[in-house]
Structure 1
């Protein structure tokens, strides 16, 4: 299995992003080869895989077992495609279910409070974009001025740390490559950032690149440095301690509550399919359904009973 894992990783490197490949490699080395690396590929049985999944769920958490099953599944599917195996030992296994963690979001008042605290901050526009567009952190850090076209923002790349190096790569999925229509307040926010960016550039000894949220010398800002700022500002705000990714959930939840349709929201978020948006935000849609559960009096403003009486008379 150890040898097959290396062969699969070499194959995966040709068609996934470097960051994704780094994650695959880390997962294989930590959760797969130490446990079943000595078993021959053709000798691996479903019971060994199931035993591994159960062990990981008990010693770590169910999510680790779930992702291990997914990774093993991809490894076995590659063996099936090449005719090395005729049946995947992963098919007969089940990863334990994990309890779904309640989604953490900020209310409109909390989001407004946080943005008010950041007024004039160098990274204000980053948090503004997260809350008003639902963009991912890597996508925001990957934005360049060449991606801004009047009231349209083109998401073309994402910034991540790969093997200790900050680098820009294609977005998460093909549908993540998208164009976001901006409201006038977002455009104004970005224009203020452009003025500050130009001043930074004018005073720098060397400058390369046109990243909106530039790091030293004009290159992309390190996600680690960005996280440091986010964690500090979040702590100082006194607001509920949510993750940065929860700002994306905050945007989507508030947009749905305001009547945004699923198809448009899914496209704006860069989801591969509207079904993903439905699955993630089903709780918001349930609340909308409750509000639409209206009686005739609710719909007609209390006129139903008198109208019925008049017709009967």
Structure 2
């Protein structure tokens, strides 16, 4: 009475077993397996973001940066067909966002699986905010951790590897924080906390150090490629002569007659002047770049 039922159950069990085996060999499964074993292709808009990606992905992928020379201007960059093809074929694309490298938007929308805009997606910034996010001490650690999670989605078996790489990279930035803390202690003895800048490149760092930009209208005019009002320039000259600011910051990659004249006034009146750059200098990594600038500031404030 039960023998036929046993046979039918046996056949059903066999069919289910075959289905499971075949399911394991399905195209979807093969795709996932292939995806998790193939090197992760990463393209970043700038070399300092590329540095973070390289540190985290390690030997499990490749990274290329589009803006990779100090002389290249991220604002005015025009992608070539080869660059467009490279971005289109990437698994992960990293851009600064907040209106800084807008040329990446059209390229990244072409076909990559993941497009990360550091400012918009990771830092809660919006278009129009100060785009020089790499001068914010928290940016690189946040990006490193975000990339570790993103890479782990593509290669789950290497999750711990990516996480460890991110932690190692973040630890390598500790020297930057050491310099920041030194200047913070120095600032406690400085009565004047206001600072003049040629443009908003170093603003995040200035705020982190406990100082405040006192010539917002001037820096925004320069940032928007317009001429600062004569009244604004006159006020800055007076401020430098009367030592109303702790120091003057200028972007040494930009040659401006107006800024040069203000620098002359600063130097004649013994106001410390700090040169900074918007792009990564040749033969330096991110930690060296930041550390050198903070050390220079500590030196001129001493």
TM-score > 0.5 by shorter chain: no
Q: TM-score, normalised by structure 1?
A: 0.24
Q: Name whichever structure is richer in helix by fraction.
A: 1
Name the structure with the higher strand share.
2
TM-score, normalising length: structure 2:
0.24
Greater radius of gyration (CA): 2
